[in-house]
Each structure stands twice: as C-alpha cells, then as structure tokens.
Amino acid sequence: MRKVLLGAGLGAVVGAFLPRPPAPGITPAGEGSTPPARTQVIRHGASAAGACDDETVHEELVALRALASLLEAQVADLEHELYGEVPAWPADTPPAHQPAAFRENLAEALDACDVPVDLVDVRCAEPPCYALLRRDELNFSDSDPWIVALRDCAPWQAAYGDGLSLATDTVRCGDRAEGFTMLSASPDWLVDWEDEPERAAALAQRFDARLREARDGWPCRGE
C-alpha cells in the first residue's frame, strides 16, 4: 500500500502533543506541584526507503506505458491485416450511390413496393452504403417474397437496375433466431472486378469486416 504524506513547506508532517487539561479535583500546576509535560513537536521527513519505493513505482509505470504502446501498435497492425484499409468516398461517386440519395431511394422502394422487411439501419461510413434489413425467412432463397419485391420494384430499378449486392444470415436472439440481410446496390461503380484484382480483394475484405460488425451489433426485435 502506498502512503501519501501531506504537510507544508518541505513536505514534513507536523504533529503536536499538547498537555491534557487538569481533571476535576486536581490542583493546576503551580508552586509545589509537578509541572506539566512540555509540548513536543515531532517532524517526519521522507525516509530513504520511501524514496526508493517511489522511484521503483515510477520505473514500473514507464515500463508499463511502453508495453501498452507496443501492444496498441500490434493491435493496429492486426486490425489492418484482418479488416483492411477503410476507403474514403470517391470524389466521382455517382449521384444515386451517394449516402443521402441511397437512403432516399431505398426508403422509397421499400414503401412503394411493400417489401416485407424491417429497415434496421443504413450505414454509409464508407462506400458503398449498406442497408441492414430484418426479414422473416430464416433460410434465404432468391425467390423469397421480399427479394422478388425489391428486385422488381420500379423505383429501385430506375435508380440501380438489376444489380444487387447482399449477404444473408441468421442471428440468435435468446431462444429464437432472426434473419438479417446486409444489402446494397451493385458496387460495380467502385471497381473493375477483372482489371483491378487488388482493389477487388480490398473491397471484399471490407465487406467481410462490415458484415462481421453488423452481426456482432445486431439489435434483436424488441431491444
């Protein structure tokens, strides 16, 4: 346990031992009586052992900070290796794929065509925007009512054509499961899949990272 000594000036602690007042029936000090004990002042400075302890704690703190910095750098390297570099939005992003437009077009399509899904979130921190959808079907099929309704929806077709990019899965919510889909319009505008293999691989790596994040933070119905 470390002790903190508080005092004034040079950091000394001053303690004064004062004489106790006379008890009833006792004659105060005077002629023929025993004089009271003199006031004693005791000063305690920092001991050599205490100074050594403080120096040891300081050295340990410096070492731990260095270790923490090293571990943080290793974590950053591993995150970059696993998740890749988060891309910025290109300056030439097509109007329909820009965040505000994607949100608006998606909401219009879901409403106009009665697509049977719950819109949980739209995430546009990086390109492309992805919508998180809660669906009833736990086993996905490309003939499911919701995907057919969206794919054939006139407002969606007008904005994005037939292209879709999606991943579907299920998430455990207590004793039941919920189906979820991470969906976007086709990201062909971001990369030439045949002529830019490195960019294609980086985009796929970021898709996996975003999918993992969506699963880990999935809000179950009613939460």
Is 100 found in the same domain as 76? no
Residue 32 counted as domain residue: no
Is 113 found in the same domain as 75? no
- pTM across the whole model: 0.64
Is 74 found in the same domain as 111? no
As a whole number of angstroms, the distance between CA 58 and CA 124 comes to 45
Is 60 found in the same domain as 107? no
Confidence of residue 188 (pLDDT cuts 50, 70, 90): very high
Residue 116 counted as domain residue: yes
Confidence of residue 91 (pLDDT cuts 50, 70, 90): very high
Is 122 found in the same domain as 197? yes
Is 102 found in the same domain as 74? no
Is 212 found in the same domain as 130? yes
As a whole number of angstroms, the distance between CA 97 and CA 16 comes to 79
Residue at 63: amino acid letter: A
Residues 107-127, mean pLDDT to the nearest whole number: 96
Share of the chain above pLDDT 70, in %: 71
Q: Does position 97 have pLDDT exceeding 60, yes or no?
A: yes
Residue 24 counted as domain residue: no
Is 183 found in the same domain as 109? yes
**Cβ count near 105 (within 10 Å):** 19
pLDDT at 138: 73
Cβ pair 167, 181 in contact under 8 A: yes
Q: How many domains does the chain have?
A: 2
Radius of gyration, alpha carbons of the chain? 36
Residue 178 counted as domain residue: yes
Is 118 found in the same domain as 198? yes
pLDDT at 58: 79
Residue 166 counted as domain residue: yes
Six token digits for residue 58: 């300081």
Lowest mean pLDDT among 9-18, 20-29, 155-164, 197-206: 9-18
- Domain span at residue 139 reads 95-216
Q: Does position 57 have pLDDT exceeding 90, yes or no?
A: no
Is 142 found in the same domain as 53? no
What is the rounded (10 degree) CA torsion for 149, 150, 152, 156? 150
Q: Does position 3 have pLDDT exceeding 80, yes or no?
A: no
Is 169 found in the same domain as 64? no
Is 116 found in the same domain as 192? yes
